[in-house]
Amino acid sequence: MTQILHDARETGSHPPARVRWAILGVVLAADVLDLLDSTITNIAAPTITHDLGGGTVLIQWLGASYALALGVLLVLGGRLGDKYGRRRLFLTGLAGFTAASAACGLAPTPGTLVAARLVQGAFGALVIPQGFGILGATWPRDQIGKAYSLFGPVMGLSAVGGPVLAGFIVDADLAGLGWRPMFLINIVLGGAALLAAARLLPRDTGDRATTVDAPGSVLLGATMLTLLTGLIEGSAHGWDAPPVLLLLAGLALFAGFCHRQRTAPSPLIKPSLLHNRGFTSGLVIGVVFFAAVAGLLYVVSLFLQQGLGRSPAAAALALTPLSAGIVIASIACYRLIGRLGRRLVLIGFLVTLAGTAHLIALVATSGTDTGGWALVPPLLVIGLGMGACFGSLYDVTIGDIAPEEAGSAGGSLGAVQQLANAIGAAAVTTVYFRTGGGAHATTVSLTVVAAVALLCCPLVRLLPLKAPEQHH
C-alpha cells in the first residue's frame, strides 16, 4: 500500500479507486468519532453526575468543554495542517483523541473528566480540518463529488444512532462500568482508525512558510473559557464578585482578540470577510441560532431523564424523531437551496419555532405526565426546521464572498458553530437549573430558546440572496 501511494505521488497521479475509497473511509470514521463524542454527554450527563458528583456544574461543562476546545482550535488546526502536513496532523490528532477518550473513561473526579474533555476536543480540532484537504489530494476533481456526497448520509445516521448507542451502553452497565465504556470504546475504534490512517494516508510535507496566528487562538480560547466559567459558576453559586469579574475579564480578552484580528499579519479570520455584510450577518445569526438549538437539545434530554424519569436509552430513543427530522430535511433541502436561497433559512427558523411552541404547550399542560408518543410530533417538526437551517444558513452566508476567501470562511463558520454549541449548552442549562429543573424549568428554558430564535428571523434579510452556484 505504501508503495502504491509513493508511486502515485511520484507520477503526480491519483491512487487506485480501492485505495481512494479506503482513505475516504478513514476520514469518515474520524468525523463520525467526533460527532459521536460531541453528542453523547447530552444523554449520559445525569448518569455521570450521579456517579462522580459535580452537580449542575458538571452537567453544564460536559458538553461545553468539548465544543469549546474544538471551536477555538478548529481554524488553527487547519493552518497547522497546511504548515506541517495534513497526514502528520491527522495522525497526531487521532492518537491524542483516542488517548483523551481513555482518560475520559477512566476519570476519577469531575475535574479530571472536564479536563480530559477539553483535551479530547483540542485533538479533535487537529483531525477534522485535514479531511477535505486529504480527499482533495487523493481524488480526481471530476470524481470527488462522489466522496463528498457520502458525508451527509453518514453524519445523519451518526447523529441519529450516536445518542441511542450511548444510551444503551449506559443502561447495559457493561462489566459494572456504567457510563465509562461510552468513552473507552474509542480506544478500539480510534485505534483501528489510527492504524488504517498510518497505512493509507499519503505523505505530504506541508508549507513551512504558512503563518499561524497562535496569539489570536490563545486570546480566543482565554475569552471563551473565562466567559463560560463565569456563566456556569454564577448560575451554580450565585452572582457574587468572582463570576462577575470573570465575565468582565472575558469581555476584555475579547476586545484584545478583536484588536489582534485587525493587526495580525495572518489573522484567524480574514479582515475582508468581516467587511462583508452578508458574511458577518451569517456569523451573528449562526451564533444565536446554534446556541439556541444546542441549549434546546440539552434541556429536552434533561427533562426526559430528570422530569419524566426515563433511562438514558429510553431518552435517546425519544429524541430519534428530532434526529430523523434533521436527516430528512437536510436531504430534501439539498435541491432547494439553489432555488430558494435565504428564504429556505427563514422557513427553517419558522418551522423550528413552530415545533418549539408546540413542545412548550405540551410540557406546560401535561408536565411530568407527558406521554412518549405525544412528544413525537413536536420533536419531529423541530428536527425538520433544524435540518432546513443547518446546511442552508452557511451555504447562503458565503453567497457573495470571493473564491480565495472560501477556505477561511468555511473554517470560521465551523468554529463559530462549535463555540455557539458551547455557549448554548451553558446558557440555556443555566436558565433550566436556576428555575428549579423539571417541567416548569423546561417551559421557561424553551421559551427563552424560542425568543432567541425568533430574533434571528428579521436578520435573515441581511444575508446574501443565494448560495454560491454548485457550492451546496
- Each domain of the chain, given as residue ranges in start order, spans 1-202, 213-265, 268-472
Position 164 confidence tier, pLDDT thresholds 50, 70, 90: confident
Position 7 confidence tier, pLDDT thresholds 50, 70, 90: very low
Q: 1-202, what's its fold?
A: Growth Hormone; Chain: A; (1.20.1250)
Q: Is the pLDDT of residue 10 over 50?
A: no
d(CA 303, CA 369): 12
Beta-carbon contacts of 442 under 8 Å, excluding residues fewer than 6 positions away, are 299, 300, 302, 303, 307, 363, 432
d(CA 151, CA 319): 22
- Contact between 428 and 231 under an 8 Å Cβ cutoff? The reply is no
**pLDDT at residue 404, rounded to an integer:** 65
Largest CA distance in the chain: 69
Sign of CA pseudo-dihedral 243, 245, 246, 247: positive
The closest alpha carbon to 97, from 157, 37, 158, 151, belongs to: 37
Beta-carbon contacts of 259 under 8 Å, excluding residues fewer than 6 positions away, are none
**pLDDT at residue 160, rounded to an integer:** 67
Sign of CA pseudo-dihedral 255, 258, 262, 267: positive
- Contact between 403 and 362 under an 8 Å Cβ cutoff? The reply is no
d(CA 236, CA 198): 45
Taking each continuous run of H as one helix and of E as one strand, the counts in the chain are: 20, 0
Q: Is the pLDDT of residue 175 over 90?
A: no
Write 446-449 long-range contacts (CB < 8 A, 24+): 446/296, 446/299, 446/356, 446/359, 446/360, 446/363, 447/360, 448/295, 449/292, 449/293, 449/295, 449/296, 449/299, 449/356
Q: Is the pLDDT of residue 210 over 60?
A: yes
CATH 1.20.120.140 fits 268-472, yes or no: no
Q: Check for a shared fold between 1-202 and 268-472.
A: yes
Question: What would the grid cell of residue 34 be?
Answer: 467526533
62-66, 147-151, 179-183, 259-263: range with highest mean pLDDT: 179-183
- Contact between 334 and 371 under an 8 Å Cβ cutoff? The reply is no
Q: Is the pLDDT of residue 403 over 80?
A: no
Give mean pLDDT, residues 27-46: 85
- Contact between 465 and 341 under an 8 Å Cβ cutoff? The reply is yes
Cα 440 to Cα 275, 307, 437, 444: the distances in Å are 43, 10, 7, 6
When mean pLDDT is compared across 204-208, 319-323, 358-362, 457-461, the lowest value belongs to 204-208
DSSP string, 140-180: -TTTHHHHHTTHHHHHHHHHHHHHHHHHHHHHHTGGG-TTT
Question: What would the grid cell of residue 330 be?
Answer: 437536510
DSSP tag of 357: H
Position 472 confidence tier, pLDDT thresholds 50, 70, 90: very low
With 0.85 as the threshold, say if the pTM is over it: no
Beta-carbon contacts of 469 under 8 Å, excluding residues fewer than 6 positions away, are 338
The closest alpha carbon to 217, from 423, 75, 122, belongs to: 75
Q: Count Cα atoms within 13 angstroms, Cβ side, for 30.
A: 34
Q: Is the pLDDT of residue 2 over 60?
A: no
d(CA 324, CA 283): 26
pLDDT digits 0-9 by tens, 304-362: 988 888 888 888 888 889 888 888 888 887 778 778 888 999 999 999 999 999 999 99
pLDDT digits 0-9 by tens, 267-289: 877 777 778 888 888 888 988 88
For residues 438 and 378, which has the higher predicted lDDT (pLDDT)?
A: 378
d(CA 123, CA 146): 28
When the pLDDT of each residue in the chain is averaged and rounded to a whole number, the result is 85
